[in-house]
Amino acid sequence: IIRKIKKDYPEIKLVLISNTNDAHYDSLEEHYDILKVMDVHVLSHEFGKQKPDPGIFKEAFRVSGSIPGETFYPDDRPDLIEAARVMGIRAYQFTGADQFKKQLSKFGIQV
């Protein structure tokens, strides 16, 4: 899905926000080439803040040039979805690919 968004909607900036540490992230980069598709990575161990801290979301807005009401944010954790929604972000809980596609369609993104 991410690759299709990147190909079909090049104007959309794909930003990864991750609570991680240096060693764990290095391992992820080795095993998941999908990370290279993302335009920007906002990583807690580099930024010094973790989700749900509003600061990490604000950093993602800064680097992407986006604003909360125009941001689609999926996550599997309900507490992080709620934290994002408090900031005005369009946040959705990820439960599977079909549901994710339906959520994206609300943004006019057809994958």
What pLDDT, in 10s, does the model give residues 1-57? 999 999 999 999 999 999 999 989 999 999 999 999 999 999 999 999 999 999 999
Q: How far apart are CA 51 and CA 108, in angstroms?
A: 27
Find out whether 90 and 73 touch, Cβ atoms under 8 Å. yes
Amino acid (one-letter) located at 98: D
pLDDT for res 64:
93
Distance, CA of 92 to chain centre: 11
Give residue 87's pLDDT band: very low, low, confident or very high (50, 70, 90): very high
* Helix H or strand E segment including 109: none
**What pLDDT score was predicted for residue 80?**
97
pLDDT at 102: 95
Rounded distance between C-alpha atoms, residue 25 and residue 66, angstroms? 25
Q: What integer pLDDT is reported at residue 51 of this predicted model?
A: 97
